[in-house]
Amino acid sequence: MSAVALQLLQSLLVVLAAPLVLGWVNICRAWLQNRSAPSVLLPYYTLAKLFHKDAVIANTTSPLFRVTPYVLFGCMWLAAGIVPVLATDLPFAPAADIIALVGAFATARVFGALAAMDTGTSFGGLGARREMMIGFLAEPAMLMTLFTAAFISGSTQLTTIVETLAHREFAIYPSLAFAAVAFLMALLAENARIPVDNPATHLELTMVHEAMILEYSARHLALIEWAVATKLTVYMAIGFALFLPWGIAPAADWGALPLALGVFAAKAALAGAGLAFLETVLAKMRIFMVAEFLSTAFLLGVLGMLIHFLMRG
Amino acid sequence: MDSVLLAASLAASSCWLAIGVAGLLPAAPAFILRLLFPAGAATGLALAVIGAQAAWLPPSMLVLPLGLPDLPFHLRLDPLAGFFLLLLGAVGAGVSVHAMGYWRGEPPQRLRLICLQYHVFLASMAFVLLADDAYLFMVAWETMTLSSYFLVTTDHQRASIRSAGFLYLLMAHIGAIAILLCFGVMHGAGGDYTFDALRAADLTPFWANVAFVLAFLGFGAKAGLIPLHAWLPEAHPAAPSPVSALLSGVMIKTAIYGMVRAAYDLIGSVRWEWGMLVLLVGAGTTLFGVLFALMQHDLKRLLAYHSVENIGIILLGLGLSMVFFGFGHPAAGALGLIAALYHTLNHAVFKGLLFLGAGSILHATGLRDLNAMGGLIRAMPATAFYFLVGALAISALPPLNGFVSEWLTFQAALQAPLLEHGVVRSLLPLFAAALALAGALTAMCFVKVFGVAFLGRARSESAAKKEASLPERLGMAWLTAGCFVLGLFPAAMLHMLNQVGASLTGGSLPSEAIESSWLWLVPTTAAQASYSPLVFLLVVLAVVLITFALVRRFYHGRMRVADPWDCGYPEQTTRMQDSADAFGQPIRVVFGPLYRIHHHHPGPEDARPRYAVHVEDRHWYWLYLPVARLAEYASSRVGLLQRGRISTYLLYSFVTLIALLVFVR
């Protein structure tokens, strides 16, 4: 029973804390850009405001358009429950390994793109097309980095990967270094961050994710924004699980939980600041440069995997 | 018990033949549509049940006193044949039900012929699976080719359909020659052509390799491997939609059956080099298929290219299996074979469903061109739902069935560290990468298909019409249910396929995988990997429902309907939505060198400016057209002999006779 409680606690924590992570990234970026920063709680205020508003739905849409925000939110909840954030003792974790996790993100992406096509406007199609292009480039890169970790630990189960990687002797794995760079590039693309997409722009020529959700308003938009924030936090958690697996509580050790929480907060604060730094020093690239960017990520992932086999063999 | 099953499957196959012949009776079309097609569907269901039973039982055999003197037909029902009978029966049943609605309004004369050819086609596929000697196998194989050729050319008044049919017939016979030669090689020196004798024949490694390559080419031509795929995107769209569903869902799977039968059963000892060949061709076929599918705007052509892609995915599983068996890792080899067979069944179900959906759209709107569709979800909500399920399944999204088999293929590829051969070990994950890329591209392609056809606003007057008829919807609902069952309860299928694989190769999954409960799919050990689609679905569903309830409870459900944002430009037309070609534009840019692209841009003074882009398959230019020119040149040379004068021909006969007298004696 306690395991189920822990499971629910972790999912709830990730989903509830996700806007905070986003708020932290935003204020870090404001500081770096010499602007005066908004409150770190601004994403929560925005969500509350959106939930209170009346929804406006385009008359060209079908019911799929209204279901999609809930589906996206559900997929991200599932992901938040599977990635070991606080502890590895998660009863739902065997329901999906890393491949199924990537599948859950792909499901969310496909529904988002379909909803965009559903609006019947040129913006919707433009956003969906670009989003799917980034998706098909980022997904294989993501899988390659995950496979590198899977080969090192002999498992595609995230909990097993964390337990193997966290308890090995400290050694630098060159394969993991390649995988980490590839993972970071895929993370930027999958979460619509600079240099691939700019979450703050509404300029027709450049927007990708924002073009897809242009027709959404009020509670639907709130759910989507919340799902996007959750996705970013979950991706960070996957990165910690693969590359900084220390501090996550092992199975059946409740005493380690407060420490795990603190360690996760520290890692997230650092990662958020790092993301803000990257977004400050990089410029958004032209849309077809993304293909080069992500194929580099893919090749780095493949190289990491080959290096693993070479060093072992 | 087992021979009862074989007799029952023989009876069911003969029943299909009888239904086909009954179709020729001079009765009203309602007799064919309301009685014969449902009877065919029921026969299919019976065959599926028989097949599912046979997959668990030892093989049984039967000799029929038919055929040539001293050359009776041998039949055999083993788990592999049982599994493919299950596939044929289950998909055939759904297609037959759909056909009841699809062929309403055909002229009686045409309907009678269709009924005959359709059921002969089904029966011949069953006999291909049941055959236990090369003779019956080839007879059934050729019957299958010919009956499907006549079905493909149902609309033979159109020249384009006649030429598509000819291409299909030609490629099928090139394949058939290779298969025939393969049987000849396997036969070796002595014995007869029963499969038992072929199994017993002791081939040297060289001749085993030759036999495998011939089988791979011969069956590959039927399956649509590159570069032998050219007939597929021509023949599938030419055929009526239920026939396309059978061609793509079932017939090309008999080629997979043939490959598995030849490699694992008849030739016997599988070599890892074969696996590498199959993997290379499979990866190429997968990527090529999906990249060309993304360029299509004819819905049925697009689906045909996806069949090429999915055959590639099946081959990836098969190739992994051969590599592992070749290096002596039966558990990993069994996993690869299971993944391949699972994907074979999954592809049959969802591709059958998608072709039926395309047929219903064609029937309701008269359209195959995606660029003229749009907003169909409003007129055809049920068809849209079924099509969406099929689209999500083929895009390998959890928790539907396409994901399960791709997941198993990934798991098989991740067994690479078992191998001792360093190069092969490092190469295997690259094939997993190809599979990942193909999966993501497929998702993009089906966002395009569903988004352009069903969502948004209608792009032409004819796009919005009426919902599909009840039988059509029933047929689609049956296959939709298949997508869910195969996706949500994969452990039962895993056990059955493990049985099939074990009976064929002796290799079986580890005991932890077999003893895991029905809820969890475990390919090797639970610590290594596990997946539970049911938990996956329930968690997402629960969150969706709870979120919905909470939002309603704490906020409100107020909503206004308004025009979409027009960007301050009020003159919006439906042509401003993304078309199918526009949606593929990023692919044309990223993968440009793979295609032959012709752009048509208007000049500055064009009174009626027109933009167009044509994408062509390079294989036509480096392979098919040169071969065709060579054949034409050769026949024009041979034609020199034919002077059309009787005296010349008599001279030839005379010279031949003299030559024979001199040399033979």
DSSP for A170-236, please give it. Answer: P---HHHHHHHHHHHHHHHHHTT-TTT--TT---TTT-SHHHHTTT--HHHHHHHHHHHHHHHHHHH
**Residue B154, in any domain of the structure:** no
Do residues A87 and A10 make contact, with C-beta atoms less than 8 angstroms apart? yes
Q: pLDDT of B220-273, one tens digit each?
A: 999 989 888 889 999 988 889 999 999 999 999 999 999 999 988 888 788 888
User: Which residues lie below 8 Å from residue B316, measured CB to CB, with a gap of 6+?
Assistant: B279, B282, B283, B286, B340, B409, B413, B431, B434, B435
User: Which element (helix H / strand E) includes B83?
Assistant: helix B79-102
Q: In terms of domains, do B625 and B641 share one?
A: yes
Could you tell me the CA-to-CA distances from B610 to B61, B600, B606, B614, B663 in Å, in that order? 64, 7, 8, 13, 69
* Strands B60-68, B71-77: pairing kind: antiparallel
Residue A32 neighbours by CB distance under 10 Å: 15
What pLDDT does B421 receive? 80
Q: Which amino acid is at B111?
A: L
pLDDT at A289: 87
pLDDT of A105: 93
Q: CB B565 to CB A215 under 8 A?
A: yes
Q: Residue A253: what pLDDT?
A: 67
**Hunting for tokens 């890692």 — which residue is that?**
A267
CB–CB contact B378 A125 (8 Å): no
Whether A80 and chain B come into contact, CB under 8 Å, resolves to no
Q: Look at residue B385 and tell me whether its pLDDT is greater than 90.
A: yes
Residue bearing tokens 């980095």: A145
- How many structural domains compose chain B? 2
Q: What angle, rounded to 10 degrees, do the helices at B37-54 and B108-130 form?
A: 10
Chain A residues inside the 8 Å CB shell of B544: 67, 70-71, 73-74
Q: Does B255 reside within a domain?
A: no
Q: What is the mean pLDDT of residues B583-588?
A: 86
Q: Are B213 and B285 in contact (CB under 8 A)?
A: no
A291-298 mean pLDDT:
91
CA distance A165 to A154: 11
The answer to whether residue B627 is domain-embedded is yes
For residue range B458-500, list pLDDT tens digits in order: 888 766 578 888 889 999 999 999 999 999 998 888 889 988 9
Q: Is B72 helix (H, G, I), strand (E, B) or coil?
A: strand
Containing B406, the helix (H) or strand (E) segment is helix B401-413
Residues B626 and B646 in one domain: yes
Confidence of residue A28 (pLDDT cuts 50, 70, 90): very high
Report the amino acid identity of residue B179.
Answer: I
The answer on B626 and B605 residing in a single domain is no
Average pLDDT, chain B: 88
pLDDT value at position B25? 85
Contact A120 B375 (CB under 8 A): yes
- Neighbouring CB atoms inside 10 A of A87's CB total 23
Which residue of chain A has the CA closest to B379? A62
Cβ–Cβ below 8 Å for B551 and A51: yes
Buried b vs exposed e over B616-643: b needs ≥16 C-beta within 10 Å? ebebeeeeeeeeeeeeeeeeeeeeeeee
What mean pLDDT is predicted for residues B487-516? 85
B115, B81 Cβ separation under 8 angstroms: no
pLDDT of B216 over the 60 cut: yes
Asked whether residue B647 is assigned to any structural domain, the reply reads yes
Q: For the segment B126-146, what is each residue's pLDDT rounded down to a tens digit?
A: 999 999 888 899 999 999 999
**Chain A residue whose CA is closest to B406:** A99
Angstrom distance (rounded) from CA A210 to CA A221? 11
Q: B655 is in which domain, residue-wise? A: 621-663
The whole-number pLDDT of residue B463 equals 61
What residues pair up with B559 in beta bridges, in sequence order? A55
Assigned token pair, A55:
């929804």
Residues in chain B: 665
* Among B440, B593, B433, B392, CA closest to A137: B440
Residue B657 lies in a domain: yes
Residue B646 in any domain: the answer is yes
pLDDT at B175: 93
Q: Is pLDDT of A116 > 80?
A: yes
Structure token pair of residue A194: 């600079």
Report the distance separating Cα B294 and Cα B440, nearest Å: 12
d(Cα A161, Cα A245) in Å, to the nearest integer? 9
Task: Give B562's strand partners.
Answer: A58
- For the segment B321-349, the average pLDDT, to the nearest whole number, is 92
pLDDT at B1 over 60: no
Instruction: Give the angle B321-B513-B337 at the CA atoms, nearest 5°.
Output: 15
Question: Lowest-pLDDT range, B320-329, B517-526, B539-548?
Answer: B517-526
* B49-84 tens-digit pLDDT: 999 988 888 888 888 888 777 788 889 999 999 999
pLDDT at A110: 94
Contact B403 A100 (CB under 8 A): yes
pLDDT at B302 over 60: yes
Percent of chain B with pLDDT over 70: 98
C-alpha dihedral (B413, B418, B419, B423), degrees to nearest 10: 60
**Structural domain includes residue B519:** no
Inform me whether the C-beta atom of residue A110 falls under 8 Å from chain B C-beta atoms.
yes
Measure CB to CB from residue B440 to each of A67, A129, A135 and give the nearest one.
A135
Whether residue B625 lies inside any domain: the answer is yes
**pLDDT surpassing 90 at residue A245:** no
DSSP result, B328-358:
T-HHHHHHHHHHHHHHHHHHHHHHHHHHHHH
| pLDDT at residue B520 in the model | 82
Handedness of CA A141, A143, A144, A146 (dihedral sign): positive
For residue B131, the number of C-alpha atoms closer than 13 Å in the C-beta half-sphere is 26
**DSSP letter assigned to residue A249:** B
Whole-angstrom CA distances from B147 to B125, B140, B141, B247, B329 are 10, 10, 10, 11, 42
ipTM of the complex: 0.94
pTM (predicted TM-score): 0.93
Alpha helices in A33-173 (DSSP H): 42-52, 63-82, 98-118, 122-153, 158-166
> Looking at the partner chain, which of A100, A287, A309 has a beta carbon nearest the beta carbon of B407?
A100
pLDDT at B553 over 70: yes
Please give the average per-residue pLDDT across B653-661, as a whole number. 93
Q: Which two tokens stand for residue B210?
A: 């030759």
**CA separation for the pair B450, B353 (Å, rounded):** 14
Give B620's DSSP letter.
I
pLDDT value at B550 more than 60: yes
CA distance B433 to B430: 5
Closest chain A CA to residue B530: A94
- For B551, other C-beta atoms within 10 Å of its C-beta total 19
List alpha helices for B529-622, DSSP H. Answer: 533-554, 580-583, 585-590, 619
Residue of A nearest to B524 (CA): A155
- The answer to whether residue A202 neighbours chain B at the CB level (below 8 Å) is no
**pLDDT tens figures, B95-126:** 999 999 888 888 888 888 899 999 999 999 99
Distance, in angstroms, between A95 CA and closest chain B CA? 4
Q: Which residue, among A7, A11, A89, A107, would best test binding to B if mutated, counting the most B CBs under 10 Å from its CB?
A: A107
Q: What angle do CA A250, A252, A257 make, to 5 degrees?
A: 65
